Amino acid sequence: MRRRPGTSPGSALVRLLPWAILIAGICVRFATHGVGARTPDEVFYSRYALAVAEQGPGYFPRFTREINDHPQAGSFSWPERAGYIALLASALKITGQEKGELGAYLSLIASVLVLVLVLTLGTRLADPWTTSAALLLAAVSPLDLAIARRTWSDSLVAMLMLTMFFACACFLVNPGRRRWPALFFLAGTYSLLVKESAWPVYLACTLVLAWAARGAQGLAGPVAARPRTMLALGALGVALAAAAIVLACGGPAEALRTWETARVANVPNEYMKLYQTGSPLYYFAGLGVLQPAAFAAGLLGAALAIVRPSWLTGRAAPGGEAVVRLLAWFAVGFLALAAAYPEKNLRFVSPLTAPLALLAALAIRAGTAALGARLPAARRWIPVVAGILIVASAALDLARFHDLFERRGLTDPVTPLLLRPPAPPP
């Protein structure tokens, strides 16, 4: 999935541009990292992890049993997120800190790794200009910036999902490399213990790996494993994650009690009814408010990639069309699942930030190329205008983040609050 040498010669400065944007994106995350107060979810995660750090893994089943003995709405031990709690507890124990800010820094690191993956995918799929555009759109995403400074699992699961996609895409192009299935199953199995939204992505990507290994010859080179091997590894990952969840509950009997407790704990409260429910348009409205240009261009890119990916890839590296189409199906499929799920929150779709940024940049590149072919007299100026519009859109995205999450002080990216007009000054 590497571009052929010479497809985008450029200058040394152009090749360094994506790296400069990556550094700028990291700086923006550090500059916007502080928050005034932690949300109830963050306080819960921090206290939970601190208890695990102090009392050891045995706290998981004890806490779960305590919750199961006294079930009530809004009270749950979240054994299916034991991987995230364990990571946060390990970080607390290693650093000796007891503050909630450490979990926020884990989110920041995960957000930075997402940008690194965008850079890696963009470099393999497109030229430096397109990669730079994708990085810029991802770097200034108001949703990603808001989540990256919170002790939530969303940034981490977004990074793990993109890692799964990257490994799956690399194996799809070059099935002869065993390291890609290994990377996929390591990141994927752990992601199943971070947040429930990773399960459909893991299962779908496992099927893609099995499909890529279906014959004696893939898109390039010999296959590294047979389809049944991929399916067996996928089943092993599910079994390991399920076993860890059962252990966190305290055994099969307690796991069944936890399932019953979940029905009581997940009864919608007033906040959920007001801000975390809605029609499938919930995400279209919310993402359209947060980052309208990138979201619209990303959806357009997804549609083009599904219909005819060659429009987006041009003379890209071998296998680029398959990867772009897979990226589009990932974005469309995940958005459809999130829209169908009863409970909604924009941070639930944080894994879409990077794929939509890449698809948006590819769509913009394809559009400028098509327009340049129709208007040869303006061919030199069309990319310049497109670049100015992208930079202007990025500046507006940053201003929107500052207005919503810093000036207005929104703590949760939920669509009804984003659509609510700001309160008049006193």
What are 21-50's pLDDT values in tens digits? Answer: 999 999 999 999 888 788 889 999 999 999
Token pair for 190:
């752990």
Average pLDDT for 143-170: 96
Q: How far apart are CA 127 and CA 4, in angstroms?
A: 10
Residues contacting residue 170 through CB under 8 Å, at least 6 positions apart: 1, 177, 180
The pLDDT value given to residue 331 = 96
Average pLDDT for 105-130: 94
Residues contacting residue 233 through CB under 8 Å, at least 6 positions apart: 181, 185, 206
Q: Which residue has the tokens 């429930």?
A: 196
Give pLDDT tens digits for 406-421.
Answer: 999 899 999 999 998 6
pLDDT greater than 90 at residue 12: no
Asked if 344 contacts 278 with a C-beta cutoff of 8 angstroms, the reply is yes
Q: What is the amino acid identity at position 244?
A: A
Q: Which residue has the tokens 């969840």?
A: 245
Average pLDDT for 113-136: 94
Q: How far apart are CA 192 and CA 240, in angstroms?
A: 10
**Residue 257: CA count within 13 A, CB half-sphere:** 18
pLDDT greater than 60 at residue 221: no
- The DSSP call for residue 35 is -
CB crowding 162-200: b at 16 or more within 10 Å, else e: bbbbbbbbbbbbbbebeebbebbbebbbbbbbbbebbee
pLDDT greater than 70 at residue 52: yes
Q: Which residue has the tokens 């100026």?
A: 381
Task: Name the burial class of residue 77, with classes exposed (0-12), middle (13-18) and buried (19+) by CB atoms within 10 angstroms of its CB.
Answer: buried
Cα 193 from chain centre: 15
Q: How far apart are CA 208 and CA 179, in angstroms?
A: 16
Q: How far apart are CA 409 and CA 249, in angstroms?
A: 37
Q: Which residue has the tokens 């190329």?
A: 369
Which helix (H) or strand (E) is 205 found in, with range?
A: helix 198-212
Q: How far apart are CA 332 and CA 321, in angstroms?
A: 16
